[in-house]
């Protein structure tokens, strides 16, 4: 591990990103206008496009939250320098909760022809089927709103709390902050599991309310964490290249992120395969219809894209140890991961509206641009408003592989660099 632990001091020059500064705002504005236009022109299609984009971006917030929680629960050291990124991603959740309002509007105010959840249409028409009545009182409009409130409150409290005490420790260096963060994480991991499952079921699975699978929450969790890990890799690489994380991020950071991405590539495939296989093998119509409808028309080929693009491609790419350290492989792969997760969300949501195959529309792009632009803008604002990495975390020395108990980090890094250049190889 010694060779992997060295700081990457001979870095290439930072990119000139000044020309990209306004891109998030432009995307947000154009996307927002497009989304509003879509909602006027074709409210149902717009709502489906919006929900697809929403569930895609919700993954980033939930992924950031669970990575922060796991960092504290596992008392990890290697991830200390990149924890702030996860915290900022998690802090997108309050905004994401508000971004669900258009879906609520669809549920509460749209005409029956335009509501995307068929069970709500059945309720409003006063003709709920067995699959709806048996879910009473969960499947009522009030409960739908309550689920949103619960998720929003839990996510806001957790994400804000985890960042608040992290930032406080930057100033005070108090060990109590670490202890408080661990308490947050201990409670938070249970609340996270409950709310993620609730969101996945109520917002995505309930599009076909007759269908059920105990794996569904795990399935959404696996895809979300996978996508977030790729995103964190990309952000860390960019921040290292640009400077803010140059001295604190090490090769092992990228290696571990890459390994986790690899692990979640396999975990997602494992979960998805068994969900499909168990239902296929039992062959009960009340379950199989979900997959049968996704084997029709062009959706079959989308499922092939998911099998090969979501699993085999990343799996074979990440199999080699050294690949996890190669930006020219990992950065395009991160983009590919986004695409695959979006395709996965589309595969879950869109067959309800378009049973014969996907309809790629400008509305999809508008919704992605609006939510994505807004979230990137907020993320960058958070990033610039606070120190880029935890300043006084008690595990910082360990993260940096430094055994010097006291002193300035710069001196310790400098001392080690001097030792390395003087031929102090191990």
Partner 1 sequence: MADVIANVEVKAPPAGLEREPLVLNQRSLGWISDAIAGVAEGKTPRWWWIAFIPSVIAMTVMTVMIVYLLSTGVGVWGPGHPVMWGWAIINFVWWIGIGHAGTLISAILFLLRQRWRTSINRAAEAMTIFAVMCAGIFPLIHIGRIWLGWWLFPLPNQNSIWPQFRSPLMWDVFAVSTYFTVSLLFWYMGLIPDLAVMRDRAKTKIRKFAYGLFSLGWTGSNRHWSNYEKAYLILAGLSTPLVLSVHSIVSMDFSVSQLPGWHTTIFPPYFVAGAVFSGFGMVLSLLIPLRTILKLEDIITVRHVELMCKVVLATGSIVGYAYAMEFFIAWYSGNPYERYAFINRAMGPYAWGYWVMIGCNVIVPQCFWFKSIRSNMLIVFILSIFVNIGMWFERFVIVVISLHRDFLPANWGYFKPTWVDITTYMGTFGLFFTLFLLFIRFMPIIAITEVKGVTPQADPHHPLGGAKPGGHH
Q: With respect to partner 1, which residue has the nearer C-beta, 279 or 375?
A: 279
- Binding test (CB under 8 A) with partner 1, winner from 29, 189, 352, 376: 189
> By rule CB under 8 A, what string of x and - marks binding of each residue 148-177 to partner 1?
-------------------------x-x--
Binders of partner 1 in range 286-345 (CB under 8 A)? 286
Surface-to-core class of residue 352, CB atoms within 10 Å of its CB (0-12 exposed, 13-18 middle, 19+ buried): middle
Among 190, 285, 322, 328, binds partner 1 (CB under 8 A): 190
Of 278, 292, 298, 339, the residue at the interface with partner 1 (CB under 8 A) is 278
Q: In whole angstroms, what is the distance from residue 141 CA to residue 115 CA?
A: 12
Q: Smaller CB distance to partner 1: residue 133 or 335?
A: 133
- Interface size with partner 1, residues (CB under 8 A): 66
Of 364, 333, 362, the C-alpha closest to 230 is 333
Residue closer to partner 1 by CB (options 156, 197) is: 197
Q: Which is nearer to partner 1, 236 or 374 (CB)?
A: 236
Structure token digits, residue 75: 């008392």
Contacting residue, 16, 113, 322, 406, with partner 1 by CB under 8 A: 406
Q: What's the token pair of residue 169?
A: 């420790």
- For partner 1, the binding residues in 83-142 under the rule CB under 8 A are 130-131, 133-135, 138
Closer to partner 1 by CB, 211 or 370: give it: 211
Which region among 230-238, 331-339, 376-384, 386-394 touches partner 1 (by CB under 8 A)?
A: 386-394
Shortest distance in whole angstroms from residue 7 CB to partner 1? 10
The partner residues of 7 in beta bridges, in order of sequence, read 250
Helix (H) / strand (E) element for 192: namely helix 175-199
Provide the minimum distance between the beta carbon of 338 and partner 1 in the complex, in angstroms, as a whole number.
25
Told to check if 186 binds partner 1 by CB under 8 A, we report yes
Do 413 and 407 meet the contact criterion of CB atoms below 8 Å apart? no
What is the rounded CA–CA span in Å between residue 215 and residue 276? Answer: 10
Task: Considering the complex, state which of residue 279 and residue 306 has its C-beta at the smaller distance from partner 1.
Answer: 279
Shortest Å, Cβ 298 to partner 1: 26
Exposed / middle / buried, residue 218 (Cβ in 10 Å: 0-12, 13-18, 19+)? buried
Residues between 236 and 275 that touch partner 1 (CB under 8 A): 243-244, 246-248, 259, 270-271, 274-275
Residue choice 12, 18, 408, 421 for contact with partner 1 (CB under 8 A)? 408
CB of 348 to partner 1, least distance (A): 15
Q: Which residues pair with 250 in a beta bridge?
A: 7
CB of 25 to partner 1, least distance (A): 27
Cis before 290? omega within 30:
no
Query: In whole angstroms, what is the distance from residue 227 CA to residue 60 CA?
Result: 7
CB 92 within 8 A of CB 376: no
Q: Tokens in use for 174?
A: 């108090």
Contact with partner 1 (CB under 8 A): which of 212, 315, 336, 354?
A: 212
Residue 181 or residue 374: which is nearer to partner 1 going by CB?
A: 181
The distance of closest approach from Cβ of residue 91 to partner 1 in the complex, given in angstroms and rounded to an integer, is 22
Q: Which is nearer to partner 1, 145 or 186 (CB)?
A: 186
Token pair of 264, please? 């979640």
CA distances from 386 to 87, 108, 151, 275, 293 (A): 11, 39, 26, 42, 48
Q: Which residue in the block uniquely carries the two structure tokens 């609520």?
A: 104
C-alpha angle 196-200-206 in degrees, rounded to nearest 5? 150
Q: What is the sign of the dihedral through the CA atoms of 152, 153, 158 and 163? A: positive
| CB nearer to partner 1: pick between 176 and 356 | 176
- Vertex 377 angle, CA 371 and 381, to 5°: 145
Options 150, 376, 412, 420; binder of partner 1; rule CB under 8 A: 412
Instruction: Name every residue whose Cβ is closer than 8 Å to that of residue 305 and which is 6 or more positions away in sequence.
Output: 340, 343
Q: Which residues of this protein are in contact with partner 1, per CB under 8 A?
A: 1-2, 5, 130-131, 133-135, 138, 173, 175, 178, 186, 189-190, 193, 197, 201, 212-218, 243-244, 246-248, 259, 270-271, 274-275, 277-279, 281-282, 284, 286, 388, 391-392, 394-398, 400-410, 412-414, 424, 426
């Amino acid at each position: 591990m010694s060779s992997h632990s060295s700081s990457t001091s001979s870095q290439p020059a930072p990119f000139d990103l000044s020309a990209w500064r306004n891109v998030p705002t432009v995307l947000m504005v154009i996307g927002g206008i497009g989304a509003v236009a879509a909602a006027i022109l074709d409210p149902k299609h717009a709502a489906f496009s919006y929900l697809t984009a929403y569930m895609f971006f919700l993954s980033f917030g939930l992924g950031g939250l669970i990575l922060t929680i796991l960092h504290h629960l596992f008392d990890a050291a290697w991830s200390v320098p990149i924890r702030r990124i996860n915290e900022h991603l998690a802090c997108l959740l309050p905004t994401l909760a508000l971004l669900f309002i258009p879906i609520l509007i669809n549920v509460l105010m749209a005409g029956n022809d335009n509501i995307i959840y068929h069970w709500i249409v059945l309720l409003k028409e006063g003709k709920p089927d067995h699959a709806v009545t048996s879910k009473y009182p969960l499947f009522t409009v009030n409960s739908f709103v309550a689920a949103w409130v619960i998720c929003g409150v839990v996510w806001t409290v957790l994400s804000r709390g985890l960042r608040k005490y992290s930032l406080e420790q930057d100033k005070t260096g108090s060990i109590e902050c670490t202890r408080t963060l661990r308490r947050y994480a201990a409670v938070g991991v249970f609340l996270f599991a409950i709310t993620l499952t609730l969101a996945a079921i109520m917002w995505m699975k309930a599009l076909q309310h007759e269908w059920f699978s105990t794996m569904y929450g795990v399935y959404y969790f696996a895809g979300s964490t996978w996508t977030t890990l790729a995103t964190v890799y990309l952000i860390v690489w960019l921040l290292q290249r640009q400077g803010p994380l140059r001295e604190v991020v090490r090769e092992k950071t990228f290696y571990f992120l890459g390994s986790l991405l690899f692990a979640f590539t396999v975990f997602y495939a494992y979960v998805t395969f068994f969900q499909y296989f168990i239902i296929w093998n039992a062959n009960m119509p009340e379950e199989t219809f979900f997959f049968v409808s996704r084997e029709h028309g062009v959706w079959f080929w989308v499922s092939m894209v998911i099998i090969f693009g979501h699993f085999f491609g990343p799996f074979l790419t990440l199999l080699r140890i050294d690949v996890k350290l190669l930006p020219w492989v990992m950065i395009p792969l991160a983009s590919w991961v986004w695409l695959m997760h979006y395709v996965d969300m589309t595969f879950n949501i869109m067959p309800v509206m378009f049973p014969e195959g996907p309809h790629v529309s400008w509305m999809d792009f508008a919704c992605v641009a609006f939510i994505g632009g807004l979230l990137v803008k907020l993320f960058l604002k958070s990033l610039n408003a606070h120190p880029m990495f935890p300043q006084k975390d008690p595990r910082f020395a360990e993260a940096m592989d430094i055994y010097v108990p006291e002193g300035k980090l710069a001196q310790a890094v400098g001392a080690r660099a001097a030792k390395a250049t003087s031929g102090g190889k191990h």
